[in-house]
Amino acid sequence: MSQLSELNKEIFEEIKNKAGFYIIDFWAVWCGPCKVMTPIFEKLAEDKDINEVTFYGLNVDEESEVAEVFGVSAIPTFFLIKTKGDGTFNLETDVVDKFVGTQTAFDFKLGIQAALKKAKA
């Protein structure tokens, strides 16, 4: 099962060198909707139905450089990405899906599963 880990610039560089699916939660301590989504995101990180995805949280105030790479303008925002493992990342081709704002755990899980299915097709 996947677990939720914190993402920073160094770890982002590492995951670009590992092929796989990753979902990143861009959040901030002061963000009310982020606080609503945190337990939902943590629960999904442990969901065996989507264990092929590695879950990361990124504090936009502490890691603004990575947030800028993704062009994050609202939080919470979640990016599902697929890395090739070749050390590169292209926002246009490597983003599988983007989820913005709050949503139910059920809808979020369905969205992730649908995006994964599409990415594998």
Which active-site residues does the annotation give? 31, 34
Residues facing 98 on adjacent strands = 79
Give the integer Cα–Cα distance in Å for 30 and 26: 12
- DSSP string of 78-121? EEEEEE-SSS---HHHHEEEEEES---HHHHHHHHHHHHHHHH-
